[in-house]
Amino acid sequence: MKTFLLQSMSLPRAETTEPLLYVRSLGDVQFSDANTILHAGAELSFDTSFGVFAAGRWRRLTTIKNLAATIYATGSGRIEIIGVETKFFGTKFAEKIIASTGIASGGKTSVEVPNFSDEKYGSFYVRVSAEQTDVVISRAEWTTTTEVSRAIKLSLSITTFNRQDYVKPTVAKVLHLEKSVETLRGNLRVLVVDNARNIEFNTEPGAPLTVVQNPNLGGAGGFARGIIHLRNEGWSTHILLMDDDISLEPDAIVRTYALFSFARDEKLCVHGAMLSEERAWMQFEAGSKYRWRSLYPLRAIGREDDLRERKLALRDAREKKFAYTAWWYTAFPVSITRDNPLPIFVRGDDVSYGLLHTGKHSVTLNGVIVWHADFGLKNNPSSLFYEKRNFAIIDTLVFDRHHWWHLARRFIALSFRNLFSMRYASVEYMIRGVRAYLQGPAALMATDHSALHDDLRKVSEEKPAPLSPELAAVKITKPRIKPIRLIGFALAVPLVGGYILPKALRRDVLKTAPIDSRAVGLATRYNRILYRHDRLPEGFVVERDSRRFFGLLREVCVVTKDIALNYRRLKREYREAYPSLVSDESWQKRFSS
């Protein structure tokens, strides 16, 4: 019977910064890119986030009927498969050796999981121990002989703009997978949509790689170009969209392909979790909810989970429902919809696509991850332009019960928080974003997004940048306890952010605040704040400006009035325009511009 690779039990490599995501070791163990050596008496176990086989999830989502672990190793040692039973809502575990054998002399040892369909064990992991002599492990994997539910042709579409240092290693990893993994050979292709029109690859002749040059239409334009290209080409059954500024765990693609091959639901979509590039063990998001009534609608699932924790790796957690899949890694069937992304560049294009099409069919899976730089370093006032315009459009299109007061409330509250924390440029760009929304869908269709983005990027204020030695040396302000911060926040309203206080009661001492915060309480008493990253020497300084504050306050009031007067008409117009906004025809016009 044909063996199908479900996932590799990857070993740490030279580039690995967090080995505990891959394996746990006991005794004298040496790692290298080629092999892992266990000296006599040592143990290596795969009870980790990337090593565990999440049997419960695979049973619920797929048709696989059997499972085996194969270890490529030499030496005198033992291989055990441990079944894990999750108890007391994931807080306790019962572990049992369910299969055990000595390392075979031929260098390849396969161990069948007995009674895989028995739902008692929600997870399995492998443990290898060296006995009288050293054991050398080259690789390990989980496989099945179950017949696939459907034949999969997977195309990876990456949109890039001058990110060669990230994209080229990612593409090299994927092409190596396609060449070396039998189940992927001939079934995996790579499409790079180059918005900068300057990337070149030095690949082998016949490599499954296509490069399409595209105008700089942002992420939405690049992903729309990729989706339309692959749909028209007709080869792909599934598309995997991926950002250009991530680091990929290659086995994520192996697992994604396998999940699609055995999926019970032909509409199944797969979302890759994002981990922090700075703290490689920390999860940023594994799916997100969307609370359209809230000031901050995006609610990440699994935020700041430490994936080194054994309990997170072993527990059989039920699939969580979430609203959308972010495009740092999201895979879906080509047939899921004929709609293309909305032309709302930079922020929210993936949110709208997920809310409307992929989110309700999406799942996550351990080991399907990417690493990404901290978003706090990417946010700046221009980001707020896109957030205000794009999320207003999304809410208008998707939610029937969304009304003008929901949009006005969010705009007023966030304007208040930025104004009262001396982030004036942020408010200016928020106002500009809402006014762009108020211009309606015809203006959105006519927008030259490349020129607009170039203009928005000219902002120089409130933009994270390397700190001077003097600013980097400023002592980080110790945060007050939450009740005191809440009191400071509440007092900011009657004190109008400190602007009505006599100058003698305001201090010029430079205080610090987290780069992604709004330090309303601090800004009431102090005239300058250094917003800085908590781990990196980057940030920016803001200073009190009374004239600018009251001028922006008046503009916020005017824009709020315009929201109330025009929202009902705009909702009707945006919904009527939606088919045209996402059509192949409208996007083709942009591609040829």
Cβ partners under 8 Å of residue 271, min gap 6: 286, 287, 322, 325, 326, 329, 330, 331, 362, 363, 364, 368
* Chain Cα centroid distance, residue 554: 37
Structure tokens at 566: 């025009």
Structure tokens at 328: 């740092």
Give the pairing type, strands 188-194 and 154-160.
parallel
Through-space distance between the first and last CA atoms of the chain, rounded to whole angstroms? 53
DSSP 358: I
Q: In order along the chain (593 residues), what is the average pLDDT of each group of 10 residues?
A: 93 88 95 90 96 97 97 95 85 91 92 92 96 92 97 97 92 95 97 93 92 90 95 97 93 98 97 93 94 92 95 92 91 96 86 92 96 76 94 96 97 94 96 97 90 88 91 81 71 74 79 87 87 87 94 97 98 97 93 83
Helices 404-419 + 381-398 axis angle, to 10: 170
CA–CA distance, 520 with 417 (Å, rounded to integer): 6
CA–CA distance, 248 with 334 (Å, rounded to integer): 22
DSSP 354: I
- The answer to whether 506 and 544 are in contact (CB under 8 A) is yes
CA–CA distance, 520 with 195 (Å, rounded to integer): 39
Q: How many CB atoms lie within 10 A of CB 6?
A: 24
- The answer to whether 369 and 274 are in contact (CB under 8 A) is yes
Q: Pick the closest to residue 524 from 498, 558, 557, 563 (CA basis).
A: 498
Strand partners, 242: 158, 329
Reduced to 3 states (helix: H, G, I; strand: E, B; else coil), residue 267 is coil
Domain boundaries along the sequence of the chain? 4-144, 154-373, 381-547
Tell me the residue ranges of DSSP E strands in 17-153.
24-26, 29-31, 36-38, 43-45, 68-87, 92-102, 108-112, 123-144
Which pLDDT value is given to residue 151?
Answer: 97
- The answer to whether 122 and 315 are in contact (CB under 8 A) is yes
Structure tokens at 557: 């009031």
Structure tokens at 543: 């200073």
Which pLDDT value is given to residue 70?
Answer: 97
Fold of the domain built from segment(s) 4-144 = Jelly Rolls (2.60.120)
- The answer to whether 46 and 23 are in contact (CB under 8 A) is yes
Around 195, how many Cα atoms within 13 Å sit in the side-chain half-sphere? 25
CA–CA distance, 291 with 194 (Å, rounded to integer): 34
Which pLDDT value is given to residue 219?
Answer: 86
Q: Pick the closest to residue 192 from 180, 181, 203, 179 (CA basis).
A: 203
The backbone torsions φ and ψ at residue 327, rounded to the nearest 5 degrees and listed phi first, read: -90, 15
CA–CA distance, 477 with 487 (Å, rounded to integer): 18
Around 445, how many Cα atoms within 13 Å sit in the side-chain half-sphere? 17
CA–CA distance, 185 with 176 (Å, rounded to integer): 10
Q: What is the CATH architecture of 154-373?
A: Alpha-Beta Complex (3.90)
Rg of the chain on CA atoms, in Å: 26
Which pLDDT value is given to residue 377?
Answer: 63
Which pLDDT value is given to residue 90?
Answer: 64
Structure tokens at 100: 């055990």
Strand partners, 154: 188, 238
Reduced to 3 states (helix: H, G, I; strand: E, B; else coil), residue 512 is strand
CA–CA distance, 130 with 292 (Å, rounded to integer): 55
